[in-house]
Amino acid sequence: MTDTPSPCIFCEIVAGRAPAWRVYEDDLTIVILDIHPYTRGHCLALPKRHVPWWHEMTDEENAALFKAAKIVAERMMKAYSPDFVFLYARGRRIPHTHVFLVPTFAGDVLDRFFNALENFQESPRRLAALADPEAMAEALKDLTKG
């Protein structure tokens, strides 16, 4: 058994040693199609330098990454007319920063996920409102009718 870490797949792609569907590239950034897409056109934008966390990128890398993400998101809007392009940064499972760019449509999996997340975020207020004396009186009335 060896303690040698596996090579980073994104570094292998950047170096041209692993295949990828390249959508956009500049000196500091590459955008590729995700091989496990959530939807048609799902891409990953990543810095060419191996950087585990997005906040560890240089200012130049950060600017280049988000410029590339914007360029590709505009292409997605033109090609697919989604409701929006979902963007989030990762680097946990594959410790090389990557930004997900996912064209998202009303009612699709991500839209439902974010609606559920927003409802969860709002739940404490909704639950607290249920304990309001007026709401309790209404519930009592509902449950003791006839």
Looking at the fold, whether 2 and 62 belong to one and the same domain comes out as yes
Task: Give the chain's mean pLDDT.
Answer: 89
Decide if 64 contacts 29 (C-beta within 8 A). Answer: yes
More confident residue, 128 or 27: 27
Cα–Cα dist 101/38, whole Å: 10
Within this chain, do residues 80 and 125 fall inside the same structural domain, yes or no?
Answer: no
**Greater pLDDT, 28 or 114:** 28
pLDDT of residue 5: 55
Residues 73 and 50 in one domain: yes
Confidence of residue 42 (pLDDT cuts 50, 70, 90): very high
Q: What is the pLDDT of residue 104?
A: 92
86 and 24 together in one domain:
yes
Contact 100, 86 (CB under 8 A): yes
At 82, which amino acid appears?
P
pLDDT tens figures, 71-91? 999 999 999 999 999 998 876
For residues 111-119, average pLDDT: 83
pTM: predicted TM-score of the whole model, two decimal places: 0.77
Confidence of residue 1 (pLDDT cuts 50, 70, 90): very low
Tokens 């004396």: give the residue: 133
Structure tokens at 71: 């360029």
3-state percent breakdown (helix, strand, coil) of the chain, nearest 5: 45, 20, 35
Among residues 114, 107, 108, 121, the alpha carbon closest in space to that of 87 is found at 114
Identify which has the larger pLDDT, 10 or 7: 10
Q: Are residues 54 and 4 in the same domain?
A: yes
Q: Mark whether 87 and 113 lie in a shared domain.
A: no
Instruction: Kindly state whether residues 49 and 113 are assigned to the same domain.
Output: no
Residues 60, 6 share a domain: yes
Which residue segment(s) compose the domain that 124 sits in?
Answer: 106-146
Are residues 67 and 2 located together in one domain of the fold? yes
**Domain tally for the chain?**
2
Q: Indicate which CATH number applies to the domain containing 63.
A: 3.30.428.10
**pLDDT value of position 131:** 83
Are 96 and 133 found together in one domain?
no
Same domain, 40 and 66: yes
